[in-house]
Amino acid sequence: MEFTNLRVEQGGDAVFETALVAGPREMNTFRGRWQVADGVIRQTDPNATARAHFGDFHWRDYTLALRARKVSGRGGFGVVFRNSDGGSYLQWSLGGGDNLERRVEAHLATHSEEDTTVERKSGSIQANRWYDVRVELAGSHVRCYLDGKLIHDLELPPPNLPRLYATASRDEQSGEVILKVVNPTAEEATVDLQLDGVAAVEARARAVVLRGRPEDENSLEHPDRVAPVEEELHVPQPRFSHTFAPYSLSVVRIDVNED
């Protein structure tokens, strides 16, 4: 896949262009083999399902325009927009479904297994042909154009997602309460926790925390880039406050007394 003439405009002014991507280090890449040369961004692994992200999570109303070309492979290419620091994003997939469809997909930072497709239209992507791609965002309104033709015209409000996801359970053998908390956002989250039905707790609790940026991946060169770390928590009473790190999964084990 090859991409060029990338431009993001807000109010008629360019806020991002291909020239700002001097190399793969200026992008957050997910799999694939990425190269940048002569104003063209290339993904050269025909068997990889790969992505490259750049830009600002805080962009709202804007127009994204670029040229894209499929060089090889079975499918086509996709354009990610309205990307969020919590892991939710929209994607226009061109050449999905074995290169039979053009579809807008809503990928939400939830555990839902529902179909992500919002709207699908028939259409394939030809190899070795440059396509002009444009996505216009205005509030909840999304318009997607291919070679100047309007393909999708949708109302897609940004998702209203919780800042934290949490579950609680009890280890019947040890008597410990186990809290599992996910913070999918880029900010720390300080919350009050209440253990109902518990008379007292041990002051020291144990936690295993997995944290990292959404684009982080382990590799042969960096096998421990994302790895669990054991921590100790101070829990003075059944109701206490704790701060959960950005982009983290925490498993907390607390000894309790129900008498």
Average pLDDT of every residue of the chain: 85
pLDDT of residue 153: 95
**Do residue 144 and residue 213 come from a single domain?**
no
**Do residue 123 and residue 69 come from a single domain?**
yes
pLDDT in tens, 60-110: 899 999 999 988 777 788 888 888 766 678 899 998 778 888 999 888 765
Answer yes or no: is 76 within a domain: yes
Least confident among 42-56, 106-120, 140-154, 168-182 = 106-120
Q: Is 19 exposed, middle or buried (0-12, 13-18, 19+ CB in 10 A)?
A: exposed
Greatest mean pLDDT among 100-104, 162-166, 215-219 lies in: 100-104
Structure tokens at 34: 């990425």
**Do residue 214 and residue 122 come from a single domain?**
no
State residue 24 phi and psi, 5-degree precision.
-55, -25
**Do residue 35 and residue 150 come from a single domain?**
yes
Q: Tell me which residue of 179, 169, 197, 192 sits closest to 239, measured CA to CA.
A: 192
Total domains in the chain come to 2
Structure tokens at 256: 């309790």
Exposure string of 210-220, with b = 16+ CB inside 10 Å and e = fewer, is ebbebeeeeee
CA atoms of 38 and 54, how far apart (whole Å) = 18
**Do residue 107 and residue 18 come from a single domain?**
yes
To 10 degrees, the CA torsion angle through 202, 189, 182, 195?
30
Last residue of some domain: 109, 128, 155? Answer: 155
Listed in sequence order, the DSSP H helices in the chain are 96-99
What domain range is 182 assigned to?
Answer: 165-257
CATH number of the domain to which 34 belongs? 2.60.120.560
